[in-house]
Amino acid sequence: MSEPQWLSGDQLAAWRGFMRLLQRLPAALESQLQQDSKLSFIEYYVLAHLSDQPEHRMRISELAVLANTELSRLSHMINRLEKRGFVRREPDPHNGRYTQAILTEAGFAYLADAAPRHVRHVLDLFIDVVTPDELRTLHRISDKVLARIEHAG
């Protein structure tokens, strides 16, 4: 049995290929980030999202949504980033219930150093390999499937 007969041959082949990509692409990017900057994929994007914010600060729960991660995981992660001096916490001045994560100077500098290599890798492994038309299609697919996932979940 293995793969029940509800996917056609073509569908199955496409799904398998895509699943492999789902595994490999993030792994490849992680491994570059890890090697060059000792950051996991998600740590990188946490720092990146913070650096996008006006004051380099953001409520932890918002950050969790953007980074697509559970609050608990993010909280542990921020502990580690705090230990490394890249981030610190502060209670939200407007509402003591919230906590803000703030990118430190050191964190910003670290990110600025890591980013070019990471982006180069994204270009090398992905963007440069795909035609603009394929990229558009992929974008459309992503949006549709994501909508389906949100809607189902």
**Closer residue to a second copy, CB minimum distance, 85 or 147:** 147
Closest CA to 62 of 106, 93, 92, 104: 92
Q: For a second copy, which is the closer residue by CB, 73 or 91?
A: 73
137 binds, among DNA, a second copy, none (CB under 5 to 8 A by kind): a second copy
Residue 34 binds to DNA (criterion: CB under 7 A)? yes
Give the shortest CB-147-to-a second copy separation in angstroms.
8
Cα 82 from Cα 104, distance rounded (Å): 9
- The helix/strand/coil state of 66 is helix
- Give the rounded distance of the alpha carbon of 146 from its chain centre: 15
By CB under 8 A, residue 76 contacts a second copy: no
Contact 74, 46 (CB under 8 A): yes
Whether residue 36 contacts residue 111, with contact meaning beta carbons closer than 8 Å, is answered with no
Distance between CA 112 and CA 120 in Å, rounded? 13
Give least dist CB 95 to a second copy, A.
Answer: 26
From 18-26, 48-56, 70-78, 114-122, span contacting DNA (CB under 7 A): 70-78
Closest CA to 44 of 86, 85, 72, 76: 86
Chain positions contacting a second copy, by CB under 8 A? 1-4, 6-7, 10-11, 13-15, 17-18, 20-28, 48-49, 51-52, 68, 111-112, 115-116, 119-120, 122-127, 129-130, 132, 134-146, 148-149, 152-153
Chain positions contacting DNA, by CB under 7 A? 34, 40, 42, 59-61, 64, 69-80, 89, 92, 95-100
